[in-house]
């Protein structure tokens, strides 16, 4: 009787180790990740790109936060301007209206009166004054003005034309004159001037009082009120000068452009009285012609009323 071997055979260790070794797969280098098929859900991994490091800011100077911000704003503004310039090249230019003339800007009444005057021509003196009275657009008693352009250079002392004239028909204005002829007058006047109170239109003084008035030259000079021998306001006969001023004594002086501006009366005077005053003014200005001026002395003369149209006077009509 044969005895059966009941012991189980042990597997060989070599045989068992080989499959285990085979099961361990060696890592494969440069293996590409398998792409997921379309339609599969799940997060997609993305590779992060490296950002440049932020510039370090200084406390002051060109690299400070304030300077860097200003530079960026300037660059952005430059880009906007370039874009606007490029986009505006093809756009049509805006149509601007031509500027209106002075006559078009004036009121309806002024335009109607101005139609009676031909601005391209000059008129005789008597006709100019009659037209000035006729074309005055104001409701109040307007002043008639003369504007005389002289061929002088006011920067030269001998060509600084100035003088006085008594208007035969008066000036039509009430003039308040202050007189400085005694110490009593000076005390009262200086008290007002110390306070800056000027309540007169003209000031007449005697030569003896002028040194005391010198400290007020900065106050009176710019207003044209400082007495002057050339204008006749420094005199030994103040009563006579005051009487002449009340009768229509007028002072004139050429300005920096070589033009004399003065008033010869009111519209209510009428053409005849205005003509007498104008002839007296022109005669006084002719007599004040500087010796250094050669050739034509009067270049042009215009007359106008307050807010009224201007009229050119024909120089050949002036006597």
- State how far the Cα of 5 lies from the Cα of 209, in Å rounded to an integer: 165
pLDDT bucket at 239, cuts 50 / 70 / 90: confident
184 and 237 housed in the same domain: yes
pLDDT of residue 293: 87
pTM exceeds 0.95 for this model: no
What torsion, rounded to 10 degrees, do the Cα atoms 54, 55, 57, 62 define? -140
Co-location of 263 and 203 in the same domain: no
**Is pLDDT at 148 greater than 90 in this prediction?**
yes
Q: Characterize 67-87 residue by residue with b for buried, 16 or more Cβ atoms within 10 angstroms of its Cβ, and e for exposed.
A: eeeeeeeeeeeeeeeeeeeee
pLDDT at 73 over 70: yes
Same domain, 226 and 178: yes
Residues 129 and 238 occupy one common structural domain: no
With 70 as the cut, is the pLDDT of residue 280 above it? yes
Contact between residue 178 and residue 198 where contact means Cβ atoms under 8 Å apart = no
**Average pLDDT in the 139-163 region?**
89
Percentage of residues in the chain having pLDDT higher than 90: 14
Under the banding of pLDDT at 50, 70 and 90, the label for residue 2 is: very low
CATH of the domain at 117: 3.30.190.20
Residue that has been written with the tokens 């007028």 in this structure: 250
**Domain assignment present for 203:** yes
26 found inside a domain: no
Q: Above 60 in pLDDT, residue 15? A: no
Average pLDDT on 126-144 reads 88
Q: Which pLDDT band, with edges at 50, 70 and 90, does 19 fall under?
A: very low
Q: What is the pLDDT of residue 146?
A: 92
Task: Say if residue 133 is in the same domain as residue 262.
Answer: yes
Same domain, 132 and 225: no
Number of domains into which the chain is organized: 2
The CATH number covering residue 216 comes to 3.40.50.790
Asked whether residue 186 falls in the same domain as residue 231, the answer is: yes
- DSSP 8-state secondary structure symbol assigned to residue 170: -
What residues make up the domain containing 306?
112-172+248-319
Give mean pLDDT, residues 228-250. Answer: 85
Residues 253 and 158 in one domain: yes
Q: What is the pLDDT of residue 14?
A: 47
For position 45, what pLDDT does the model report?
57
Q: Whole-angstrom Cα distance, residue 263 to residue 304?
A: 10
The pLDDT of residue 22 is 45
Q: How far apart are CA 198 and CA 220, in angstroms?
A: 9
Burial class (CB in 10 A: 0-12, 13-18, 19+), 196: exposed
Considering the domain architecture, whether residues 253 and 121 belong to the same structural domain is answered as yes
Is the residue at 34 inside a domain? no
């Amino acid at each position: 009787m044969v005895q059966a071997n009941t012991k189980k055979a042990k597997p060989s260790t070599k045989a068992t180790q080989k499959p285990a070794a085979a099961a361990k797969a060696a890592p494969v280098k440069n293996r590409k990740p398998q792409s997921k098929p379309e339609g599969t859900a799940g997060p997609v991994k993305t590779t992060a790109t490296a950002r440049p490091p932020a510039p370090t800011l200084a406390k002051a100077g060109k690299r400070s936060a304030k300077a860097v911000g200003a530079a960026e704003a300037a660059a952005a503004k430059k880009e906007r301007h370039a874009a606007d310039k490029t986009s505006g090249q093809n756009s049509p230019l805006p149509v601007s209206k031509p500027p209106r003339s002075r006559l078009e800007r004036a009121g309806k009444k002024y335009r109607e009166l101005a139609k009676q005057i031909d601005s391209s021509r000059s008129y005789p003196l008597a006709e100019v004054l009659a037209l000035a009275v006729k074309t005055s657009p104001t409701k109040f008693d307007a002043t008639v003005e003369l504007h005389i352009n002289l061929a002088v250079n006011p920067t030269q002392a001998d060509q600084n034309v100035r003088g006085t004239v008594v208007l035969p028909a008066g000036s039509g204005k009430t003039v308040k004159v202050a007189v400085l002829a005694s110490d009593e007058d000076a005390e009262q006047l200086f008290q007002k001037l110390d306070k800056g109170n000027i309540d007169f239109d003209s000031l007449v003084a005697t030569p003896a009082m002028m040194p005391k008035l010198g400290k007020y030259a900065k106050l009176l000079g710019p207003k044209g009120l400082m007495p002057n021998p050339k204008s006749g306001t420094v005199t030994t006969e103040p009563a006579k000068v005051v009487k002449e001023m009340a009768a229509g004594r007028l002072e004139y002086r050429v300005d920096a452009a070589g033009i004399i501006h003065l008033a010869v009366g009111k519209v209510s005077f009428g053409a005849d009285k205005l003509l007498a005053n104008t002839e007296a003014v022109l005669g006084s200005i002719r007599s004040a012609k500087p010796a250094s001026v050669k050739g034509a002395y009067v270049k042009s003369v215009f007359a106008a009323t307050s807010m009224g149209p201007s009229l050119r006077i024909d120089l050949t009509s002036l006597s």
